[in-house]
């Protein structure tokens, strides 16, 4: 009989699974689920000077140390992710696999080990930025983090207030867009049905060659959702290294290329 996991072990496994994504859905009091950024553990050795500066910066900003380190990484490092074309709110970014998981990586470490080890659960986006930067510079995370902390210039109160205002504006616009999109999807008729395994048919038995533009668009949305849910389910079962996961990942990549052709078919059908 398998050994029963403790509460902390269950929480650790849950965080580990969630950290594979940048965002996860969370339950809210409103009718719709919210989206929350995930966090991932970063453990590095830095100098005592860098650690004390991180502590002071966090105290001055009146935030926690992990939040300060996240802010430093997000503001100081270049952008490596691009916006994904996924309709899922939990898949906003597309990260370059060649930088996150390079086949070969040469790393130059610091000449001396730092005096203080820090371990914080920073956001997954900050963690991935640092991982990509490590590949580009060929330097250790400890070396990069220490340098960023020592050279970080905090924003003024006016700059922070403006950023807060911009974030609130972006959040409102995003919520309005999500609500508008949801209302549209709920109001438009659905003529297609996913029978399982990505097999999609017309409810009235109409052949694909006679579908209109709206039905081609629905087909594209259903197929995209099918691949995303299949991969998410395999990740939840910790099967990222399995042949099954690689098969569906390849099919998803092939579908992304095919999707353009299906959209063109829909446009031609609509024009006709």
pLDDT in tens, 186-198: 555 567 887 877 7
pLDDT score, position 4: 74
Other CB atoms within a 10 A radius of the CB of residue 131 amount to 18
pTM: 0.55
Q: Which of 51-65, 66-80, 159-173, 245-259 has the lowest mean pLDDT?
A: 159-173
Q: Are 25 and 90 in contact (CB under 8 A)?
A: yes
Cα–chain center distance at 67: 18
Nearest alpha carbon to residue 148 among 56, 74, 79, 80: 74
Range of 80-94, 183-197, 220-234 with top mean pLDDT? 220-234
What is the CB neighbour count within 10 angstroms for residue 266?
Answer: 20
Q: Reply yes or no on whether the pLDDT at 202 is more than 70.
A: yes
Kindly give, in sequence order, each residue whose CB lies less than 8 Å from that of residue 224, ignoring residues fewer than 6 positions away: 86, 87, 255, 259
Instruction: Tell me what pLDDT residue 270 has.
Output: 44
Between 169 and 75, where is the model more confident? 75
Measured between alpha carbons, how far is 119 from 41 in angstroms, rounded to an integer? 7
Asked if 73 contacts 101 with a C-beta cutoff of 8 angstroms, the reply is no
Give the number of C-alpha atoms closer than 13 A to the C-alpha of residue 187, restricted to the C-beta side. Answer: 6
State the pLDDT at residue 16: 63
* CA 117 to chain CA centroid, nearest Å: 27
């Amino acid at each position: 009989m398998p050994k029963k996991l403790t509460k902390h072990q269950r929480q650790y496994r849950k965080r580990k699974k969630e950290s594979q994504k940048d965002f996860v859905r969370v339950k809210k009091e409103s009718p719709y689920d919210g989206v929350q950024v995930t966090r991932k553990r970063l453990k590095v050795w830095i100098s005592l000077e860098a650690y004390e500066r991180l502590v002071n910066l966090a105290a001055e900003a009146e935030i926690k140390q992990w939040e300060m380190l996240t802010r430093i990484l997000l503001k100081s490092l270049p952008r490596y992710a691009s916006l994904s074309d996924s309709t899922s709110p939990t898949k906003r970014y597309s990260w370059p696999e060649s930088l996150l998981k390079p086949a070969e990586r040469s790393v130059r470490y610091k000449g001396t080990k730092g005096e203080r080890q820090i371990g914080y659960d920073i956001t997954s986006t900050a963690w991935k930025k640092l991982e990509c930067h490590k590949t580009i510079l060929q330097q250790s995370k400890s070396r990069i983090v220490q340098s960023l902390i020592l050279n970080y210039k905090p924003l003024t109160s006016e700059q922070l207030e403006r950023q807060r205002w911009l974030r609130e504006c972006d959040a409102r616009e995003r919520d309005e867009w999500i609500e508008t999109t949801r209302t549209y999807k709920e109001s438009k008729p659905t003529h297609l049905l996913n029978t399982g395994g990505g097999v999609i048919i017309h409810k009235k038995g109409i052949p694909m060659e006679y579908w209109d533009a709206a039905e081609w668009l629905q087909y594209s949305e259903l197929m995209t959702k099918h691949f995303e849910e299949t991969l998410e389910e395999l990740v939840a079962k910790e099967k990222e290294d399995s042949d099954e996961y690689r098969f569906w990942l390849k099919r998803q990549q092939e579908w992304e290329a095919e999707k353009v052709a299906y959209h063109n078919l829909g446009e031609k059908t609509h024009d006709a």
